[in-house]
Amino acid sequence: MRGDTRWAGYLIHVTETCDEDTVNLVTDVATTVSAVKDHEALALIHARLARRALLPAEHLADGGYITLSHLHAAAGQQITMVGPLGHNSSWQARGNTGFALAGFAINFEKRQVTCPAGKTSGDWLDTGPAGRAPIVVVKSDRRLCDPCPSRASCTRSREGRTVNFPPRHLHELQGRNRRQQTDPDWLRAYGVRSGVEGTVAEFTGGHRAHRCRYHGHAKTHTQHILTAIAVNAERLYAHESPGHRERQPTAFQKYIIGRELPIPHWWGKGGCP
């Protein structure tokens, strides 16, 4: 289950180089079952790249791969993750009418949080991993919230308002990432990632990677690896021989063409593979 859609099968995660003036090569292929979220594949992708000494200085990724904990973990490996980090999805933030987290003043030194109405709570709790990232939970009890005239804009809970946010170093990283997403230079740099969509189309349209030829995860992954090798071989050949001529059709292909029989799309132009 992914969102509101049910999928049966596997997902392919493709990593490729995107340096200027060089041929772009696939450096990693991951195969996961369809229920696995994109960000759950990232740590193993980085681990494989590290073993092959292919870790990038910057890793441009779709928003599905970007979480706060992954930004932090990648920074520890000297990798700058470049991608959109999701915004606050609470009902207060979505409606833009309530007191969202951004309106609360957080004092990390005093371990206190002050709400937009000026009420301060020191009920501060550091928790362990939750959703793969540590969080801080601060609760304001009913003695603070019940008399407040802005209560309806702040919380629907009977007990009072609870706010969750990451520890200071992650909170600052989160804010910095979200500010960068509105910068034109950041948007231009991130635009390079769109090239991988062409690679995905190359895998699926040119090599039928969207269809499993075998049963089971291991064999499907082998298919994806062989497809990546084929893509790299084609790119290297085209790069080294920009003026090459396509080879002539084989006798069997001429037979098919001469009788105007259907030509499989992966044969390419003129019926040549």
SS3 assignment, position 218? helix
Please report where in the chains the tokens 């292909």 appear, as a residue.
Answer: 253
pLDDT of residue 247: 60
pLDDT of residue 110: 92
pLDDT of residue 230: 92
Give the H/E segment covering residue 48: helix 42-51
Is domain 10-85+182-240 classified as CATH 3.30.420? yes
CA distance 180 to 187: 8
**For each of the chain's 273 residues, which pLDDT tens digit applies?**
455 666 678 899 999 998 888 889 999 999 999 888 899 999 999 999 999 999 999 999 998 999 888 888 898 899 999 999 887 788 888 877 789 888 899 999 999 999 998 989 888 988 765 445 678 899 888 888 989 998 888 988 888 899 989 889 888 888 888 888 888 888 888 888 888 888 888 898 888 888 888 889 999 999 999 999 999 998 888 877 666 556 666 677 677 778 887 766 555 443 333
pLDDT of residue 1: 47
pLDDT of residue 232: 93
Please report where in the chains the tokens 């290297």 appear, as a residue.
Answer: 236
pLDDT of residue 31: 94
CA distance 44 to 28: 10
SS3 assignment, position 107? strand
pTM of the model: 0.73
Each domain of the chain, given as residue ranges in start order, spans 10-85+182-240, 91-167, 249-273
CA distance 196 to 62: 10
Residues 113, 106 contacting (CB under 8 angstroms) = yes
**Burial class of residue 248 (count of CB atoms within 10 Å of its CB; 0-12, 13-18, 19+):** exposed
pLDDT of residue 269: 43
Residue of 109, 110, 129 lying closest to 121 (CA atoms)? 110
CA distance 246 to 273: 9
CA distance 111 to 122: 6
* 80-82/58-60 β-pairing: parallel
**Burial class of residue 147 (count of CB atoms within 10 Å of its CB; 0-12, 13-18, 19+):** exposed
pLDDT of residue 3: 59
